Structure 1
Amino acid sequence: MSAPPPWRDPRRHLWLLSPAFAAAAAWHLLSFWRSGELLWLWLLPAVVYGVIPLADALWGTDPRNPPETAVPALEADPYYRWVVVAFVPFQYAATGLGCVIAASMPLGIAGWAGLVLTVGGINGVAINTAHELGHKRPAWERWLARVVLAPVAYGHFFVEHNRGHHVRVATPDDPASARLGESFWAFLPRTMAGGLASAWRLEARRLAARGLPAWHPRNELLQAWSMTVALYAALAAAFGPGVLVFLAVQALYGASLLEVVNYIEHYGLLRAVQDDGRRERCDVTHSWNSSHALSNLFLYQLQRHSDHHAHPGRRYQALRHFDHSPQLPSGYAAMLLLAYVPPLWFAVMDRRVLAHYGGDVTRANLQPSRRQALLARYRGEARAQCSSAE
């Protein structure tokens, strides 16, 4: 009997959608610079906020997993690594072209908004590229992650995500884990300030263990931030100091895209305290999962977040879908639109959190300021359901 043919990744060439998205951003900016047609600045925001959510709904999910026997060869294939790296030059091209436009073209409110959404959007998506690179062992990939974070001025993410978030995920101590009853607009300042403070503490502690002060050239936060300072200084020297305002605004928007994704990924989920007083180990039930096909292609399967947290070193092409992971009703592109409107978000997601915990609201990660109200509400609903069933 002949051996079965080797497994082939059915998505192999579709992973190029992510660097193609960055290339399209650069092309659209170049086209606007040449023509002045406002449409070019709004095409990518329309794709992010309109086309991708609709396409996710129409295409649906793809829960297929690679066979475990194929994973070693799949992860060793350099093609997938260079797909991620290919995003970076287009990201920088888009950032540079954004500065050219900001410095040289008259822009009304719609023009400025489109420019920020396009450039900041690409740099926000680039944080996901940095996320994929920053988890890997080769030093050059981790350094490239810092380069990717420089345009969005979020270099501390490299430290906080790997050494903070992955340790404290789905606990009240994690600034990047949203709580049941917490709106995105309350979460955003908490996670931004908390993540920055946590990253500094982690790095100061690491350096202190080596007998070094926090303000030292080996501080990885200072190294990452210096890249942003150097980049912004070079762009200001080339196009005038006025571009610094544009760079700051697009960076804020780009960082907010990361944080709305953080909000979605762990909303209301909690790792239980064990008998020994320690939190249970993170597994595939502590992150919201989505296998919506199109948005996963754009995001290097970030939406298979359950497997990522359970196995952080696993490369994107090998991440798995698990039916018993809590499932989002759609991909991130649609979910972030819900997150921007808290009543809609709560209406869609709170009942899913409760269902995940069998109706026991005390097992969820609760927003402290709303704890009593949430307990009263959901316990009351549970009693009402029991009474009606009887």
Structure 2
Amino acid sequence: MHAELNDLTNNAARYRNGKRYLWLIAFVTAFLPIASMLVYVETGFLAALCFPLIYFFVGMPLLDMLLGEDPYNPSDDVMYRLEQDPYFRVLLFCIIPIYYLTFFAAVWVVGTYSPPLWAVLVFAVGVGTFHANSLTVGHELGHKTNKVDQWGAKISNALVGYGHFCIEHNRGHHVQVATPEDAASSRFGESIYRFALREIPGGFVRGWHHEAERLKRKGHSVWSWRNDILQGYAITLAIAAGLVVWFGPGVLPFIIVHHVVGWYGLTQANYVEHYGLKRKKMENGRYEPCQPRHSWNTNHIYSNLATFHLQRHSDHHSNPLRPYQVLRNFPDLPRLPSGYPGCFVLAAIPPLWFRIMNPKVMAWANNDPSLINKG
């Protein structure tokens, strides 16, 4: 028995030593906008403000291609140890202030050095794309049930003004995922641009509806301070107002574009995660339970580490409470051709996306149109 326990401990140690500190790649990625700001401030080289955008859409796909995939799953005994290890939760709470720091620093650069409008907009798109990952952290914490994690999610989501996200995601998307009724599940042949026009307002309406219902059941007004969505929006507005007062209205275009791009970052993820996949409708009118095969999966190493395993999405939808560090891979899952950054590039060119992904959807459905989400 003693030898068996030693074996379990050694197995856990080997797993942690192999990947435990690689999660810090997420922090390296989070600090990259600071590097571009320092180059601009020290040299006046405007093109440095383009670096976050280039890194995300060129550098990360290349790193995914070079480093390949990691299909490894921890064994059951290792999973238990990893789930109980507070280190992984601490990482999530530590990265939130870094996102806020880079946001404040970016506003300071724009408000103090007054770069030309084109540079402000490009910089806002780049930093906003990075800060869409604040919603990834909010997503992870928002699936937990304790108050501390719930508030962590609220603060993280507030960075880009998406206070309704966790409510919409947990009570809406996870219930209706991979069905025509889900605003956050993209349909076969639907471009990302058409999807964004449906998903962004649809997410707000559904989130508000669910929160209004919750408050009504408790006997409270929807305009109560107890409204979780309004709490998130209040944080966002207070920060934006303070920055405008401090630096002047000239920073407002940066803040607005930054936030909208953060929303679009989530939209891009939602688009690639369930494109064309549909759950079967049973004779009783209900859809079959969500299975791993109803989400596109990818094991690309670099972008998965940078996004806290968001891209192991198949296991997440089957086990929403499972923490990111133990999400599993399965051999028969529908697979994306790249990590999310590379897929976002493909999705931005709809004919290219359709050419690559439509045959994958048809193969997944065994050429049965009834199994494809066409809306």
Partner of 1:226: 234
Distance 2:226 2:114 in 1: 43
2:69–2:301 Cα contact (<8 Å) kept:
yes
Say if 1:82 and 1:31 are closer, same or farther in 2 by CA, change over 3 A: farther
Equivalent position to 1:277, from 281, 285, 295 = 285
- The answer as to 2:311 corresponding to 1:303 is yes
What is the aligned-residue identity percentage?
Answer: 39
2:121–2:257 Cα contact (<8 Å) kept:
no
- The answer as to 2:225 corresponding to 1:245 is no
Equivalent position to 1:22, from 17, 30, 44 = 30
Question: Any unmatched runs of 5+ in structure 1?
Answer: 368-390
The structure 1 segments of at least 4 consecutive aligned residues displaced by more than 6 Å after TM superposition are none
Give secondary structure in 2 for the equivalent of 1:49: helix
- Which amino acid counterpart does residue 301 of structure 2 have in structure 1? A
CA RMSD, 1 decimal = 1.5
Question: Any unmatched runs of 5+ in structure 2?
Answer: none
**1:102, distance to aligned residue in structure 2 (A):** 1.7
Partner of 2:146: 138
Partner of 2:155: 147
- The answer as to 2:270 corresponding to 1:265 is no
Deviations 1:300-327 (A, max 9, x none): 1111000000001111110000112211
- Which amino acid counterpart does residue 338 of structure 2 have in structure 1? S
Deviations 1:32-60 (A, max 9, x none): 23332224322222221111111211221
**1:27, distance to aligned residue in structure 2 (A):** 3.5
Equivalent position to 1:89, from 94, 97, 101 = 97
- The answer as to 2:321 corresponding to 1:316 is no
> Pairwise mapping of residues 1-390 of structure 1 onto structure 2 (< 5 A)?
2-3=3-4, 4=7, 5-7=10-12, 8-9=15-16, 10-367=18-375
The TM-score normalised by the length of structure 2 is 0.94
Deviations 1:274-319 (A, max 9, x none): 1221111111011000011111111111110000000011111100
Deviations 1:151-188 (A, max 9, x none): 21111112101111111111111110000011101000
- Which amino acid counterpart does residue 205 of structure 1 have in structure 2? E
**1:242, distance to aligned residue in structure 2 (A):** 2.5
1:121–1:254 Cα contact (<8 Å) kept:
yes
Deviations 1:190-210 (A, max 9, x none): 000100000111011111111
Give secondary structure in 2 for the equivalent of 1:94: helix
Deviates more, 1:4-13 or 1:255-264: 4-13
Distance 1:122 1:328 in 2: 21
